[in-house]
Amino acid sequence: MTGHLLLLWLASAVVAGTPLIFASVGELIAERSGVLNLGVEGMMLVGAVSGFMAAVHTRDLFVAVLAAMGAAAALSLLHAVLTVTFRTDQAVTGLALTLLGAGLSSFLGKGYVGIPAPVTFRPVALPGLSQLPLLGPVLFRQDVLVYASYLLVGAAWAFLAWTRAGLALRAAGEDASTVDALGLNVAAIRYAGVLTGGALAGLAGAYLSLAYTPTWTDNMTAGQGWIAVALVIFATWNPLRAAAGAYLFGGVEALGFRIQAVGGTVPSYFLRMLPYVFTLAVLLVVTARSRRPAVPAALGRPYFREERYG
Partner 1 sequence: MDVSLEKIRKAFPETVALQEASFAARTGEVHALLGENGAGKTTLMNVLAGLYRPDAGTIWVGGRRREWRSPADAIAAGIGMVHQHFKLVPSLRVSENLLLGTRGAWAGRREVARLRALAREAGLRVDLDAPVWQLSMGERQKVELLRLLWRDARVLILDEPTSVLTPQEGEALLGTLRALARAGRTVIVISHKLDEVLRYADRVTVMRSGRAVATLAAGEATARDLASLMVGHVPPPAVRPGAAPGPEVLVVDRLSVPGDRRALAVRDVSLTVRAGEIVGLAGVAGNGQRELAEAVAGLRPIVAGRLRIGGRSLEGASVRDRLASGLAFIPEDRQRVGLVGDLTAAENLILKRYHRPPICRRGLLDPRAIRAHAEEALRRFGVTVPPRAPVRTLSGGTLQRLLVARELGENPRVIVALSPTRGLDVRATALVHHALQEAARSGVAVLVISEDLDELLALADRLAVMHEGRISAVLARSQFDRSRIGYLMAGGAA
Partner 2 sequence: MIHVERRAPLRPPVAAVVRLAGVAAALLLGGLFLAATGHPPVAAYRDMVSGALGSPYAVQQTLVKAVPLALTGLGVALAFHAGLWNIGAEGQLAMGACLSSWAALTLRWPGWALLPLMAGLGLLGGAAWALIPAVPRALFGTNEIITTLLLNYVALLWVDYLVFGPWADPHAFSFPYSRPFPEAARLPLLPGTQVHLGALCVPALALGISVLLRSTRWGYEIRVTGSSPEAARYAGMPVRRTVVGVLVASGAIAGLAGMIEVSGVIGRIQQGISPGYGYAAIIIAWLARLAPWATVAVAVGFAAVLNGEFALQTSGVPAALASILQALILFSVLTSEFFIAHRVVLRRKRREAWVPQEVPAEP
For residues 67 and 54, the answer to whether their CB atoms sit within 8 Å is yes
Over the Cα atoms of the chain, what is R_g? 20
**Residue 179 touches partner 1, criterion: CB under 8 A:** yes
Stretch that binds partner 1, among 41-49, 138-146, 161-169, 194-202 (CB under 8 A): 161-169
Closest CB to partner 2 among residues 85, 131: 85
**Separation CA 150–CA 156 (nearest Å):** 10
**Separation CA 133–CA 98 (nearest Å):** 42
Q: How many CA atoms lie within 13 A of 48 on its CB side?
A: 37
**Residue 89 touches partner 2, criterion: CB under 8 A:** yes
Among the listed residues 15, 49, 168, 192, the single contact to partner 1 using CB under 8 A: 168
**Residue 176 touches partner 2, criterion: CB under 8 A:** no
For residues 15 and 250, the answer to whether their CB atoms sit within 8 Å is yes
Stretch that binds partner 2, among 27-35, 95-103, 120-128, 169-177 (CB under 8 A): 95-103
Among the listed residues 171, 200, 206, 231, the single contact to partner 1 using CB under 8 A: 171
User: What are 27's strand-pairing partners?
Assistant: none
**Separation CA 77–CA 244 (nearest Å):** 29
**219 contact partners, CB below 8 Å, separation of at least 6:** 45, 102, 106
Among the listed residues 132, 297, 301, 304, the single contact to partner 1 using CB under 8 A: 297
Closest CB to partner 1 among residues 34, 225: 34
Residues constituting the chain: 310
Give, as ranges, the residues between 182 and 211 that touch partner 1 (CB under 8 A): 182-185
Summarize as ranges the residues that interact with partner 2 (CB under 8 A): 38, 78, 82, 85-89, 91-93, 95-97, 99-100, 102-104, 106-107, 110, 222-223, 226-227, 229-230, 233, 267, 269-270, 272-273, 276-277, 279-280, 283-284, 287-288, 291, 304, 306, 308-309
